[in-house]
Each structure stands twice: as C-alpha cells, then as structure tokens.
Structure 1
C-alpha cells in the first residue's frame, strides 16, 4: 500500500504546489473532505475555503481557494483552483475590507444585484481571513 500522494495544485496564474504529501483537506461544495493515500478515485467541485496540505516531512501548509475542482486518481491529486493564495501571502486588511464590502452589498439588496455573486465574494473573504491567521 502506498503511503503518500502526489499533489499538483495550480491556479490560472501559477503552480501553487507540486510534490509528495500524506494528506490533503479541501472545501467541497457539500463540506470539507480529506484525501489520504490509497483514496478511491474521486472528482469534486470546490467551494471557497481552506486547503490544508501535510507534506511527507510533516510540514502543514495552508491555502485559500475561491473554488475549482479536485481529482484523485491512483494516488495522484490534481487541484485546479480558480484563485489560490498561500496563508503568508494574504493581506489581512484587504481581506477584511472585501468582507465588509460583501456584507454591505448583501445588506443593501438592490434589485439589480447578483445575490449569489455577493455571497461568493463574502465566502472568499472569510476564507482568506481564516487562512491568513495560519502559518505554513
């Protein structure tokens, strides 16, 4: 039985991670899930939230993603993120300002407002704030 996974995490602008890991936790649309070695083949849509990666040397790394897809096939994990940021890259003031703007938009509820888009903006901001407090 294999004791590790190979993870490739990419966004449209860069490769975020490529290497051997022992665990990946990601935010699915129906809740968070964890992938361990020898996981069944699997595909999931991702929700805005936190990705937690534990490398083979025991280091834990955190990323904020705004959505995307994850595929597992024969201990190979491919995570395609719409956007992704490492915990240490997140500007907390900017994330908090984004959260406030999204909350204000949802409170004002104008007729021409896209409710779903405003809720997603709020979820992205919350994910960035949560992840920013975690060190890799």
Structure 2
C-alpha cells in the first residue's frame, strides 16, 4: 500500500491503549449514523455511540473493538478513538458479558418497580454495553 492510502488507527481509554494498527478503512457508529473513514478523508471529530468500531485491515481481515461511547478524531490519516471503555473482540469474556446483561436486566426491572429514573437510565446503558460486547464476541 502507498503511504497515503493507509490509516493509522489507535483506540485508547483512561486505562491506556487498547488497539493500534494500520488499516484501509475504519467504520464507527455516531449518534447520527455510521461513518466510514478512508485514507485522505477530511479532518473530523465525532462523538461515538456504544457499538463496534470496525477496522478493515485489508481485504481479508477486519478487527472489531467494542467501545462504550467516546469520540473519534481524524486528521492526516490518523484516526484516534478515545473511548470510556473498549475491548478487542478476542479479549471479550462472553460469560462475563452475559452475567453483566443479566444484572442490568434485573436492575432495570427493579428501577421500573421503584420508579427510579436515574437508576433506570444507568441500567439501560449497562445493558447496551453488555449486549454490544456479546454481539462482538460472537463474530
């Protein structure tokens, strides 16, 4: 690949670096929909939803990283994702994610019964995170 046809992709969290690689394309989910970034894309900054960041390394390889919100900054063929939490597909413990899903569902039920709006919102976010991790672990 020519140097100007390669992206450098880096995903970091408050705990440190989670992913670093060169790629042909990165696809992220923003509040307004999916966004694909190819080499030489215009500079962009966008917030991210709880979803997968898909990194197309080449025609035969795609990496998926579960992110729990954050933002992406792209400039000069460097894509940096700063996420609240992130986990590479091979690092996801599906049993732990299933347990987190079950806990979140129980917390949602309790929050609805007690009419606790704040707890309901936190529980719904926890559920989305768990489902995201489960979905990515299965790919």
* Aligned residue in 2 for 1:72: 74
CA distance in 2, matches of 1:36, 1:26: 12
Q: Show CA shifts across 1:63-109 (max 9, x none).
A: 11111110111211111111111111111111111112212222331
* Aligned residue in 1 for 2:51: 49
Quote how far apart the aligned CAs of 1:62 are. Answer: 1.1
* Aligned residue in 2 for 1:130: 135
* Aligned residue in 2 for 1:28: 30
Quote how far apart the aligned CAs of 1:118 are. Answer: 1.4
Which structure 1 segments of 5+ residues have no match? none
Q: Show CA shifts across 1:16-54 (max 9, x none).
A: 222321111112122322111121211111111111112
Cα contact 2:19–2:88 (8 A) shared by 1: no
Determine which structure has the larger helix proportion and give its number. Answer: 2
Pairwise CA RMSD of aligned residues? 1.9
Determine which structure has the larger strand proportion and give its number. Answer: 2
Question: What is the 5 A alignment of 1:64-103?
Answer: 64-103=66-105
Paired positions, count: 134
Quote how far apart the aligned CAs of 1:113 are. Answer: 4.7
Q: TM-score, normalised by structure 1?
A: 0.88
Regions of 4+ moved over 6 Å: none
Change (3 A) 1:100 1:31: farther
1:111 corresponds to 2:115: yes
Which structure 2 segments of 5+ residues have no match? none
